[in-house]
Amino acid sequence: MCGIVGYIGDKESQQVLLSGLKRLEYRGYDSAGIVTLGASGEPTSLREKGKVAELEKKILNHKKDDEVGIGHTRWATHGAPSKRNAHPHNVGDIYLVHNGIIENYQDLKTELTKYDYDFKSETDTEVLTALVDYIYKKDGTSLVSAVSQALKMVVGAYGIAVLSVKNPSEIVVARKGSPLIVGLGDDEVFVASDASALVGHTDQVIYMRDGEIGVCTREGVQLYDIEANEINASVEKLELDLQSIQKKGYDHFLLKEIYEQPESLNSTLLGRVSADPLRARLGGLNMSDNEIRKVEHVMVIGCGTAYYAGLEAGYFIEQFLDGVTFSSQIASELRYRSFTVPKNTVALIVSQSGETADTLACLQELKRRGVKCLGVVNAVGSTIAREVDGGVYVHVGAEISVASTKAFTSQVAAITIFGLMLAQAKGVGQMQLRSYIHELEALPSEIEKVLKKHDKEVQKIAKAYAHYEHALYIGRDALYPIALEGALKLKEVSYVHAEGYAAGELKHGPIALIDDRFFEVCYIQDNWLYEKSQSNLIEMNARGAHAIAITNTSKRIAAEKVIRVNTKLELFTPLVFNVISQLLAYYVAVARGNDVDQPRNLAKSVTVE
């Protein structure tokens, strides 16, 4: 989604901003822009529709050695993707970049037109810019005071960076519901909405909290609350390195991240599970053993892949944990439902980015109701990670590709470890738990083996099936969430229309779809459901299916293509199959010539609902 960068120091700010914007490209955007101020405030504002590369060409023709500036990548909400709607917006003395949504912008706009403001764009951001300008001029006040007064009139979510042409020695920043980080260097200060833009510049950062406003100068940042009272900032160390945000020789981040799974999963498991002595332990939950024993219901909440991770882990956990009910909820649905929370519920808030607006809203509502909320988050220092009562980082490192892969596998693992902890606390048999922990420990090397063995085979199949416009993914039991996740991956990166279904639902509707425009992906595990899954295949074949089966059985499989995965796992076999469908989605997208890492219309972190 939209990205913000800012810089004040003695470097050429255009170059710092440009490199920051390039780092934010992975978040998804449709236009980009920067504004820098000369020593006496003369502005150079450059905006372009499309990629940052277009903006870069423009910067080359308008080079300045200005030492202060702000920049933005925009993902359109109000108004089409266009140069006119791109940020920074300028009204009077003020330049402003904004992430989020100003909900009452129409009312504010109507008011401002009474004071001769007219608007060139369709954006809510331009209205906020005009509001700041109006107060700044009317009251002859400082920029920080004008921003603070303007924000008090605003309903909505924002992360903003603001410049005044009257004072090129400061950038004013503020956040509410949209992340903003200030990076402290030697006589220079950086601003970014995402830590990746700060890597390599500084590892000393301040994660701004909701309601805070900051005045950045070369010397540092002074934070204020919304009433303009000074507050102290706590400086933290940025846990992200340059290596983790580079492609390391892979063609795309997506492929790199698929291949990183053995390593990233090991980081998730490290120190948290052991078969001998038997141990499943997540530090940082802030729950006593007694509280853990009392849990009767686990509610897992997330969006997209994070939601599917909750569904998948639920299937695993019910294999070994009786007496605890488990539900997985789509955050955007839950937040508007009048739901009841059973007593002794723990909520697991699952998010790679830790910034997803709907997930965050659920967290806030559940906390309001007094429910214990634990995070299952990847991005360190993100909003969800800071607002939960406790939780666990999945530690997969930076996930740059918009399509989530390594985060999914580790989210499932982390939630499952939570289930194992509950099982241990409730006295579930050691033998049974030990066998699951053994499997979990073996999972990274099983994934590694499968990646090595099947990459070329999947690539070949993907090329042969890349011309289909539709796909149906089916699976039973723990392979049902894998079918949902497999279909999501394919549609995100290849733009092939794909649907995931519980295989037992075929005859209840989706079998009507099957024709020559479709291919089908069927997950079949060699267990008590093998016969049923095979019957599904036969039924589909009778209607002209072009099925690809992903299976671990050596028995007969009635599919056009069969990818036979040899794994010693039982419970976690679905996660191994999932790696095959990640590769399939990747190679179909490559065969179709798509922008694999930044698929159209998508954003990595969905900070508006």
Q: Is 303 a catalytic residue?
A: no
- How near is the Cβ of 222 to ligand AGP at its closest, in Å? 31
Q: How far apart are CA 456 and CA 453, in angstroms?
A: 8
DSSP states along 159-203: EEEEEETTEEEEEEEEEEBS--EEEE-SS-EEEESSGGGTTTT-S
13/332 with CB nearer ligand AGP:
332
**# binding residues, ligand AGP (CB under 6 A):** 15
Other beta carbons within 10 Å of 600: 10
Q: How far apart are CA 321 and CA 319, in angstroms?
A: 6
Half-sphere exposure of 491 (CA within 13 A, CB side): 18
- How near is the Cβ of 303 to ligand AGP at its closest, in Å? 4
Answer yes or no: are the C-beta atoms of 502 and 481 closer than 8 Å: no
Answer yes or no: are the C-beta atoms of 190 and 165 closer than 8 Å: no
For residue 280, the cross-strand partners are 273
Rule CB under 6 A: choose which of 36, 261, 268, 305 binds ligand AGP.
305
Answer yes or no: are the C-beta atoms of 394 and 245 closer than 8 Å: no
353/525 with CB nearer ligand AGP:
353
Catalytic residue (one of 2, 303, 362, 522)? 2
x/- letters, 99..128, toward ligand AGP (CB under 6 A)? ------------------------------
- How near is the Cβ of 484 to ligand AGP at its closest, in Å? 11
Q: How far apart are CA 565 and CA 433, in angstroms?
A: 25
Please give the backbone phi and psi of residue 208, each rounded to the nearest 5 degrees, phi first. Answer: -70, 150
- How near is the Cβ of 364 to ligand AGP at its closest, in Å? 15
DSSP tag of 375: E
Residue 118 burial (C-beta neighbours within 10 Å; 0-12, 13-18, 19+)? exposed
Q: Is 2 a catalytic residue?
A: yes
Q: Give whole-number Cα distances, 290 to 278, 293, 568, 598, in Å.
A: 19, 5, 36, 46
- How near is the Cβ of 304 to ligand AGP at its closest, in Å? 2
164/382 with CB nearer ligand AGP:
382
x/- letters, 58..77, toward ligand AGP (CB under 6 A)? --------------------
Rule CB under 6 A: choose which of 352, 409, 534, 581 binds ligand AGP.
352
For residue 550, the cross-strand partners are 523, 563
* Three-class secondary structure assignment of 314-349: HHHHCCCCCCCEEEEEEHHHHCCCCCCCCCCEEEEE
x/- letters, 486..525, toward ligand AGP (CB under 6 A)? ------x---------------------------------
Candidate segments 137-145, 231-239, 304-312, 534-542, binder of ligand AGP by CB under 6 A:
304-312
CA dihedral over 566, 570, 576, 578, signed as positive or negative = positive
Rule CB under 6 A: choose which of 164, 356, 424, 607 binds ligand AGP.
356
Candidate segments 143-151, 300-308, 519-527, 587-595, binder of ligand AGP by CB under 6 A:
300-308
Rule CB under 6 A: choose which of 156, 168, 183, 304 binds ligand AGP.
304
Quote the longest CA-to-CA distance of the chain.
81
Other beta carbons within 10 Å of 342: 11
350/569 with CB nearer ligand AGP:
350
Catalytic residue (one of 22, 406, 491, 604)? 604
3-class SS at 406? helix
DSSP tag of 512: G
**Per CB under 6 A, 310 contacts ligand AGP:** no
CA 549 to chain centre: 30
Rule CB under 6 A: choose which of 24, 191, 306, 414 binds ligand AGP.
306
129/598 with CB nearer ligand AGP:
598
Rule CB under 6 A: choose which of 578, 605, 607, 608 binds ligand AGP.
605
- How near is the Cβ of 139 to ligand AGP at its closest, in Å? 40
DSSP tag of 592: T
Q: How large is the angle between the packed helices 13-24 and 52-61, nearest 10 degrees?
A: 170
26/190 with CB nearer ligand AGP:
26
CA angle 452, 457, 459 (to 5 degrees): 95
Rule CB under 6 A: choose which of 351, 533, 534, 567 binds ligand AGP.
351
- How near is the Cβ of 77 to ligand AGP at its closest, in Å? 16
14/404 with CB nearer ligand AGP:
404
- How near is the Cβ of 254 to ligand AGP at its closest, in Å? 10
- How near is the Cβ of 298 to ligand AGP at its closest, in Å? 18
- How near is the Cβ of 305 to ligand AGP at its closest, in Å? 3
Rule CB under 6 A: choose which of 14, 164, 353, 607 binds ligand AGP.
353
Residues in CB range of 512: below 8 A, 6 or more apart: none
Which secondary structure element, helix H or strand E, spans residue 22, and what is its range? Answer: helix 13-24
**Per CB under 6 A, 303 contacts ligand AGP:** yes
**Per CB under 6 A, 359 contacts ligand AGP:** yes
3-state helix, strand, coil in the chain (%, to 5): 40, 25, 35
Structural tokens at position 591: 């065969």
37/392 with CB nearer ligand AGP:
392
Rule CB under 6 A: choose which of 157, 191, 317, 402 binds ligand AGP.
402
Residues that bind ligand AGP (CB under 6 A): 303-306, 351-353, 356, 359, 402-404, 492, 605-606
Residues designated as active site: 2, 604
